[in-house]
Amino acid sequence: MRSLKFAAIIAAVSWFINPSYAQQLAGEKSLLPEANYGNSEVTVEKVLGYPLGTKITSPADMSRYFEALKQAYPKQVKLLEYGKSWEGRTLYYAVISSEDNMADFDGFMQGMQALADPRKTNSDKAEQLIDELPGSIWLSYGVHGNEISSPEAAMMTAYHLLHDQREQTQRWLDNTMVFIDPLQNPDGRARFVDRYYMSVGLEHSGDRRSAEQNEPWPNGRTNHYLFDMNRDWIALTQPEISGQIDALLKYYPLVFVDLHEMSGDSTYYFTPEARPYNPLITESQRETLNWIGKNNGQWFDEKGFDYFTREIFDAFYPGYGASWPLYQGSVAMTYEMASARGHLFDRTDGDVLTYADGVQQHFIASISTIQTVSERREALLQKFWEYRKSAVEAGEDGDVRSIILPAKDDPAAARKLASLLVEQGAEVKQAEKAFDVCGTDYEAGAYIIDMAQPAHRMIRTLMDKQVDMADDFLAEQEQRRNNNLPDQIYDVTGWSLPLMFNVDSYTCDDLPDVATAFVEEGRIEPGKVTNPDAKVAFLIRWGDMNAGRFLTAALREGLEVRQSELAFTHESAGEFPSGSLILTRADNPDGLQAKLKKLAEASGATVEGVDTSWMTEGPNFGSHNVSKLEAPNIAIAWDEPASPYSAGHTRFVIERQMGYPVTAIRTMQLLQDDLDGLDVLILPEGAYSGVFNDKSVEKIQRWVSDGGVLLTLGRASAWAVETGLLNTQLERKVPEEGVTEPDEAIKVDGKVIESRDQFLTEIKPHGADPDWVPGALLNAEVDTKHWLSAGVKPQVVSIYNGNDVFTPIDIDHGRNIAWFAGADSLLASGFLWDDIAQQLPYKPLLMWQPSGKGMIISFTQEPTYRAYMDGLNTLLMNALFLAPAKAQ
């Protein structure tokens, strides 16, 4: 009894100290007063215990609410699971429509599948489907866990559709199948909600200096592995996105909306998007985006909500949730609401933004878009059919009829790329025999992509080596640079999957005449052991992720593995590249054969048994060029000032793609504790000068000298230069001709300026840093004679993001293992400013510097960027596993 009385007192006091809440939006009716909801047992307040919009709902409670809707309306609501988050939370979506539509849900799915493939569905059947099928919309909420209002709006949207008795809402349900993904990122939201309510005091604070408004590292935006999942739609590294794509390819919703939050001092943003536009987006799709934006504008005008369009958030990079569906024939868009980042936010204009304000405006945008889909149902279905039909025709009539991926040089990367295309809805086949086409011979196993298919534009945006921005847009950006204004390029400009995977791809204007089999999903093709009863040893060729996964698994199993720094030729097994692995029977326990079979199947590696150790070329097993590998203790700096993205991406690549555990150590522990017992310490991208002091640098230097391997990535490499750990320099921007150091005198000699070009030169700064590059793919050359590049091709492709340019390390201090290619071949994909394109050639990408018994290995760019730069993985694995063996 005492506890109940105490709870009642606390509740009363809470209401008393927050009297302003009485005037704020609270509950479903307050968000849309004109609705006719009547009585209901499934309001948020009755199910969860608080009025809608007055509390940030946890992922668990959100699931409870949607389960309650399903129980109350079993004939109108389906809840379907599409995966699990890394932390084990269920990922699901709700489907809501009229009872008649839901009774034929399977028929709807089959109808959309038929409409999506004009090779199998003729025009008469398509016309029938367009006449009969409901329209469809997919509303995705909460991809960023600290963008908190949209998941609450998902609950409100579902409630409204099921409870509003007005004729217009019933008509929407008759015409439309509404898919609601209420929470794309439950792990990030859980992190935010737990932290937020731990920081709340006697009353909520809108002061942007308050603990409520300032999230600790890594904040709630990202998922468990700290990915911005709104960049993952081309690489599909995270289950929250790959599972969602599986669902989208079942139903092909005609409209996709990704609902976000932005600065609390802003208003509301919706379609149409800003420039640049991806040229593979059609004019018909642009027309639809304008239909939707205009109807949203009418709703917002009626409600008195401010909004804007076209100024930011472009549609160029295809890896956003609001971009990916466009290349399947749907239309997709981003909605952005000013964020309270809690219950209240004090805006600079003096107004107070509330959490419920965000819920209401996201809800209004959601139902406005549903209305457009309902009223434009037939036109949207027609546009979808025509898009898919024109995609097939573009493949038949275009200059490129097929793309071929040879599977020999890097079978792991080729297989992953082929599977990734299949996962994106493309058809890929694999040749069962050798063949020749367009004057080139290919071996059996090569992957063939026929471009005459409905996913034609999706394939192009993923596989084309270059997607150009419009010339007039680029000219405008140059003008902005001349005026010292930031450019308007929002994200990376190069993303070609073959380049990022460092996989050769070839185009042909013909289709190969060879027997093929369809490729099914599966990024790893099971490996095998040849000659499993070998008497002496087992060998694995180094250079792809199959071998890498095998190595990490073997080390974790406690097997003894050796690695050759040099290439060798075995008398019966043939040639093996540098870095190849050796497991001898003599060094390993009984039962080796069974373990190797299991590891080969799981990793994809081919393990070749040999009955002799005799080599015809290169080192024998006992050579000093063959190193025994130990299972290293790998640690990564975690917490401020490391970039959450870089730290998370790097840990993910090592743990989930390479299969090896990483110890995350908070930076304060690195400051306070010794580094004994660590073999490799990774410093991700980050501004470490603000945290690591001189004593920290000295401690790291001593640890390296005692045999540690320090691995720095991106800006951490710049920090290593600034502190003297790494013996090279950072470069300023190359001065342009005519740009001189300004005279500091008050009066200077007069100068005649004869042209606008000279004027623009005169106003340029002296000694500036290089211009910022938002993200391009650059070619780099590799020193293949160093052990750190074992198994690596002579050329790799790297992301270049930022503006750091390093001078090459002096040969007396170390080696430049990889450097950016010459000016004529530097740019692999994307866009570079002319001045930095002239400055980057022959500047280092990867440097190695021995120091005492240990070494510093510095990537000047992030090899783990977004976990999609697979072509750099072998260099990274050499740094992680071979480098500790080389340390003394």
Distance from the Cα of residue 857 to its chain's centroid: 25
With beta carbons less than 8 A apart as the criterion, state whether 543 and 410 touch.
yes
Which residues is 257 bridged to in the sheet? 139, 333
> 767 pLDDT band (50/70/90 cuts)?
confident
By residue count, the chain amounts to 888
With beta carbons less than 8 A apart as the criterion, state whether 459 and 392 touch.
no
Helix axes 377-397, 283-303, angle to 10 degrees: 150
> What is the number of H-type helices and E-type strands within the chain?
28, 37
Return the percentage of the chain with pLDDT > 70, whole number.
Answer: 97
Q: What is the 3-state secondary structure (H, E, C) of 461-501?
A: HHHCCCCCCCHHHHHHHHHHHHCCCCCCCCCCCCCCHHHHH
Q: 825 in helix, strand or coil?
A: coil
Per-residue pLDDT tens over the stretch 18-34: 444 434 789 999 999 99
What integer pLDDT is reported at residue 672 of this predicted model? Answer: 87
- pLDDT higher than 60, residue 12: no
Q: Which amino acid is at 326?
A: L
Q: What is the mean pLDDT of residues 697-710?
A: 96
- pLDDT higher than 80, residue 811: yes
Per-residue pLDDT tens over the stretch 267-321: 999 999 999 999 999 999 999 999 999 999 999 999 999 999 999 888 899 999 9
With beta carbons less than 8 A apart as the criterion, state whether 650 and 867 touch.
no
CA dihedral 724, 726, 731, 732 (to 10 degrees): -30
The CA-based angle 399-400-404, given to 5 degrees, is: 160
Q: Cα(777)–Cα(797) distance, rounded to whole angstroms?
A: 6
What six digits make up the tokens of 767?
């000694």
Q: Cα(853)–Cα(700) distance, rounded to whole angstroms?
A: 13
What integer pLDDT is reported at residue 588 of this predicted model? Answer: 96
What integer pLDDT is reported at residue 753 of this predicted model? Answer: 86
With beta carbons less than 8 A apart as the criterion, state whether 503 and 405 touch.
yes
With beta carbons less than 8 A apart as the criterion, state whether 502 and 793 touch.
yes
- pLDDT higher than 60, residue 9: no
Q: Cα(120)–Cα(392) distance, rounded to whole angstroms?
A: 12
Supply the mean pLDDT for the chain: 94
With b meaning 16 or more CB within 10 Å and e meaning fewer, what string describes 19-44? eebeebbbbbeebbeebebeeeebbb
Q: What is the mean pLDDT of residues 713-720?
A: 97
With b meaning 16 or more CB within 10 Å and e meaning fewer, what string describes 64-93? ebbebbbeebeebbbeeebbebeeebebbb
What six digits make up the tokens of 721?
């230069």
* Strand residues in 49-143 grouped as ranges (E): 77-84, 90-96, 135-141
> 758 pLDDT band (50/70/90 cuts)?
confident
Q: What is the mean pLDDT of residues 380-389?
A: 98
- Tally Cβ neighbours within 10 Å of residue 865: 25
- Please provide the DSSP assignment of 492-558 as one string: -S---HHHHHT---EEESS---S-EEEPPS-SS---EEESTT-SSEEEE--SSHHHHHHHHHHHHTT
Q: Cα(435)–Cα(170) distance, rounded to whole angstroms?
A: 58
- pLDDT higher than 60, residue 13: no
Q: What is the mean pLDDT of residues 632-645?
A: 97
- DSSP H or E run through 854: strand 854-859
Return the percentage of the chain with pLDDT > 90, whole number.
Answer: 89
> 738 pLDDT band (50/70/90 cuts)?
low
Q: 785 in helix, strand or coil?
A: coil
What six digits make up the tokens of 10?
């606390």
What integer pLDDT is reported at residue 318 of this predicted model? Answer: 96
C-alpha separations of 472 from 478, 723, 757, 853 in Å: 10, 43, 19, 55
- pLDDT higher than 90, residue 762: no
Q: Cα(382)–Cα(126) distance, rounded to whole angstroms?
A: 9
Per-residue pLDDT tens over the stretch 123-177: 999 999 999 999 999 999 999 999 999 999 999 999 999 999 999 999 999 999 9
CA dihedral 6, 7, 9, 10 (to 10 degrees): 120
Distance from the Cα of residue 57 to its chain's centroid: 26
**Phi, psi of 559, rounded to the nearest 5 degrees:** -80, 155
Per-residue pLDDT tens over the stretch 855-885: 999 999 999 999 999 999 999 999 999 999 9
- DSSP 8-class letter at 83: E
C-alpha separations of 495 from 278, 412, 460, 468 in Å: 12, 19, 11, 12
Enumerate residues 6+ apart whose C-beta is below 8 A from 779.
795, 796, 797, 820, 821, 825, 826, 827, 828
Per-residue pLDDT tens over the stretch 43-82: 999 999 999 999 999 999 999 999 999 999 999 999 999 9
> Side-chain half-sphere of 301: how many Cα atoms within 13 Å?
6
Surface-to-core class of residue 721, CB atoms within 10 Å of its CB (0-12 exposed, 13-18 middle, 19+ buried): buried
Q: Cα(551)–Cα(441) distance, rounded to whole angstroms?
A: 33
Start-to-end CA distance of the chain, whole Å, equals 69
Q: Cα(839)–Cα(834) distance, rounded to whole angstroms?
A: 9
With beta carbons less than 8 A apart as the criterion, state whether 581 and 616 touch.
no
- DSSP 8-class letter at 624: T
- DSSP H or E run through 259: strand 255-262
Which residues is 680 bridged to in the sheet? 634, 709
What integer pLDDT is reported at residue 743 of this predicted model? Answer: 66
C-alpha separations of 394 from 447, 455, 495, 716 in Å: 21, 11, 22, 46
- pLDDT higher than 60, residue 322: yes
Q: Which among 442, 603, 470 has a CA at the least distance from the CA of 529? A: 603
Distance from the Cα of residue 383 to its chain's centroid: 29
Q: Which among 846, 833, 845, 860 has a CA at the least distance from the CA of 733? A: 833
Q: Cα(54)–Cα(370) distance, rounded to whole angstroms?
A: 25
